[in-house]
């Protein structure tokens, strides 16, 4: 069985459809399933049937994690990994059955994305001292993330050649190497000009790469480093929310929709392949409207008991 796992992981590598994190997740999920099969005395993947899979799911539900019972999202991911593994075994190894084929994954409730209200975003972005090179770089990065709805991975990999300042658009390579073009506004463009003229030349040294945002040693930034800088500034400003990079992307989408942008345009700007992925932000906007209404309308404060 170990040989099958290694061949499957090599197959995933050859497909080049996922990140190292995805491959590692596959390996962890398969190893966990193998451990369960060993405890059950099952030594052949051909012998795994629907009953074994149902017992495995029950085993997962009984496990305790640091946050309590294992979440449906974790169980669903494991089942998805094993379903793919068995599809590979069916097609390339000759194993006939796929006991995961008709097993339904647990229902996953869609989380409402966290976002910043516009005044919170304004507070954050206005909190940088642009006379300091590091602060100017950070402000430019975060302004561009909000201006274009960038993922943090897209920010750190952004190249100068992908920034068209004359037309004020970014040429972004997103998930799955999907290309999209996103405009940015005048303020972001002005900050980029200052950063490229005053800061990047000071730090680039002998480096010859095209990465737009660099550290003081001329190297590209990491996603974890950007997250640290973001939270550090939020703490300095004594903001009451925990800020993370994806929150800027969520805010970008929510604010556009709040101000009348067409859903399909926002889908294109975000690089979503499915409109349903973008629609979650409509729910956010509707929730905001409802909250504002309930706080602002003088009759909305009446309790149901008073409607008789």
CA 206 to CA 41: how far, in whole Å?
60
Contacts of 234 by beta carbon, 8 Å cutoff, 6+ apart:
124, 241, 242, 243
Options 78, 137, 255, 272, the catalytic residue? 272
Q: Provide the strand spans (E) within the chain.
A: 64-65, 68-69, 163-164, 169-173, 179-183
From CA 219, how far away is CA 43, in angstroms rounded?
49
DSSP calls for 198-264: IIHHHHHTT----BSSB-TTSPBPPHHHHHHHHHHHHHHTT-SS---THHHHHHHHHHHHHTT--HH
Query: How far apart (Å, rounded) are the C-alpha atoms in residues 61 and 56?
Result: 9
Catalytic residue among 175, 178, 224, 290: 175
How much of the chain is in helix, strand and coil states, percent to nearest 5? Answer: 60, 5, 35
Helix (H, G, I), strand (E, B) or coil at 44: coil
64 is catalytic: no
> Among this protein's residues, is 209 annotated catalytic?
no
Cβ neighbours of residue 146 under 8 Å, at least 6 residues apart? 121, 125, 248, 251, 252
Decide if 246 is catalytic: yes
> Would you say 34 and 1 are in contact if contact means Cβ atoms under 8 Å apart?
yes
Among 26, 56, 146, 281, the one annotated catalytic: 281
- Note if 264 is an active site residue: no
First to last CA, the chain: 69
* From 78, 200, 233, 249, the catalytic residue: 249
Count other C-beta atoms under 10 Å from residue 157's C-beta.
19
288 a catalytic residue: no
151 as an active site residue: the answer is yes
- Of 78, 137, 139, 151, the catalytic one is 151
Active site residues: 151, 175, 246, 249, 272, 281
């Amino acid at each position: 069985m170990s040989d099958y796992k290694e061949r499957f992981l090599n197959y995933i590598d050859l497909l080049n459809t996922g990140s190292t994190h995805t491959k590692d997740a596959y390996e962890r999920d398969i190893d966990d399933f193998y451990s369960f099969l060993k405890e059950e005395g099952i030594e052949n993947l051909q012998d795994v049937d629907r009953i074994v899979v149902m017992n495995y799911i029950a085993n997962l539900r009984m496990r305790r994690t640091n946050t309590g019972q294992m979440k449906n999202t974790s169980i669903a991911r494991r089942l998805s990994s094993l379903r793919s593994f068995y599809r590979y075994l069916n097609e390339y190894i000759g194993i006939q059955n796929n006991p995961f084929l008709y097993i339904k994954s647990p229902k996953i409730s869609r989380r409402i994305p966290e976002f910043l209200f516009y005044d919170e975003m304004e507070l954050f972005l206005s909190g940088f001292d642009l006379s300091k090179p590091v602060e100017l770089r950070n402000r430019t990065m975060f302004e561009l993330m909000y201006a274009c709805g960038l993922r943090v991975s897209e920010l750190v990999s952004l190249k100068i050649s992908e920034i068209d300042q004359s037309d004020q658009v970014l040429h972004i390579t997103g998930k799955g190497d999907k290309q999209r073009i996103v405009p940015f506004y005048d303020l972001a463009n002005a900050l980029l000009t200052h950063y490229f003229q005053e800061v990047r030349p000071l730090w680039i040294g002998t480096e010859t790469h095209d990465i737009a945002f660099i550290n003081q040693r001329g190297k590209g930034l990491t996603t974890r480093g950007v997250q640290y800088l973001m939270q550090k500034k939020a703490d300095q400003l004594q903001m009451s929310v925990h800020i993370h990079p994806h929150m800027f992307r969520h805010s970008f989408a929510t604010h556009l929709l709040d101000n009348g942008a067409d859903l399909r345009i926002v889908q294109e700007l975000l690089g979503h392949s499915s409109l349903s992925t973008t629609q979650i932000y409509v729910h956010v906007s509707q929730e905001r409207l409802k909250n504002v209404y309930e706080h602002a309308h003088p009759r909305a404060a009446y309790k149901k008991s008073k409607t008789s």
